[in-house]
Amino acid sequence: MKYKVVLKQTDEGYSVNCPGLPGCWSQGATEAEAIGNIRDAITEYKAAVAQTLVGEDVREVDVAD
């Protein structure tokens, strides 16, 4: 699955967030490190959401772009 991320250069390196996942952000000294870190953050975010849904009646829907 692909997620759009927003990358911003800062004085310390790079800040990156995923607008589709509120509160999901990371940073890195280089652009490559920041992208790798947000990839990990997205994985952890999805795992945390999945944990909150255990035992719930969850459905999936298709949405056209």
d(CA 65, CA 57): 25
The answer to whether residue 65 scores a pLDDT higher than 80 is: no
Given pLDDT bands bounded at 50, 70 and 90, which one contains residue 59?
very high
Given pLDDT bands bounded at 50, 70 and 90, which one contains residue 1?
confident
DSSP SS3 for 10: strand
Whether this model's pTM surpasses 0.85: yes
pLDDT tens figures, 6-50 = 999 999 999 999 999 999 999 999 999 999 999 999 999 999 999
Domain range list for the chain? 6-52
d(CA 19, CA 10): 18
